[in-house]
């Protein structure tokens, strides 16, 4: 997974990076499904806007955003939402593959279908 963290009108300190790194294990179960994890942190006066774009290996792209006056609380909220989005996308793909696989007949090896 390619992780990129950018700050817009705010400096992304090592402490912020470390805090995000402590939250990343919450998405470890989907690490092989996510290709890019792009996070933008911006600040307007005292309001922090945290936005993340996740690109999945099957071509889907999901954008999640949160606004909060406390950056750490905003990061917590963002990861709560990210977990829900990843679970939904994961189940959507599983449902799609199950429907796809359910319509095909399984053929015994060595038999010919008529």
Per-residue pLDDT of the chain (114 residues; tens, 9 = 90+): 888 999 998 898 899 999 999 998 988 888 888 898 999 999 999 999 999 999 988 888 899 999 999 999 999 999 999 999 888 888 887 766 666 655 444 455 555 555
Answer whether residue 30 is part of any domain.
yes
Answer whether residue 21 is part of any domain.
yes
Answer whether residue 12 is part of any domain.
yes
> What is the DSSP annotation of 28-76?
GGGTTTEEEEEEEEEEETTEEEEEEEEEETTS-EEEEEEEESSHHHHHH
CA dihedral 82, 85, 87, 88 (to 10 degrees): 180
Answer whether residue 18 is part of any domain.
yes
Domain count, the chain: 1
Identify the pLDDT of residue 47: 93
Which residue range is the domain that position 65 belongs to? Answer: 2-102
Q: Which residue has the tokens 């294990």?
A: 25
Answer whether residue 108 is part of any domain.
no
CA gap 87, 55 in Å, rounded: 14
Answer whether residue 109 is part of any domain.
no
CATH number at residue 95: 3.30.160.100
Q: At residue 50, what are phi and psi to the nearest 5 degrees?
A: -115, 120
Q: What is the pTM of this model?
A: 0.75
Identify the pLDDT of residue 100: 60
Answer whether residue 20 is part of any domain.
yes
Q: At residue 36, what are phi and psi to the nearest 5 degrees?
A: -125, 140
């Amino acid at each position: 997974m390619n992780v990129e963290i950018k700050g817009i009108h705010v400096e992304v300190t090592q402490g912020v990076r470390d805090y995000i790194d402590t939250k990343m294990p919450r998405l470890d179960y989907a690490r092989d499904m996510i290709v890019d994890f792009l996070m933008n942190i911006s600040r307007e006066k005292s309001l922090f806007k945290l936005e993340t774009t996740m690109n999945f290996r099957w071509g889907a792209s999901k954008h999640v955003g949160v606004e909060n006056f406390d950056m750490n609380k905003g990061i917590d909220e963002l990861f709560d939402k990210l977990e829900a989005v990843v679970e939904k996308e994961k189940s959507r793909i599983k449902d799609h593959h199950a429907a796809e696989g359910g319509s095909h007949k399984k053929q015994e090896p060595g038999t010919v279908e008529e």
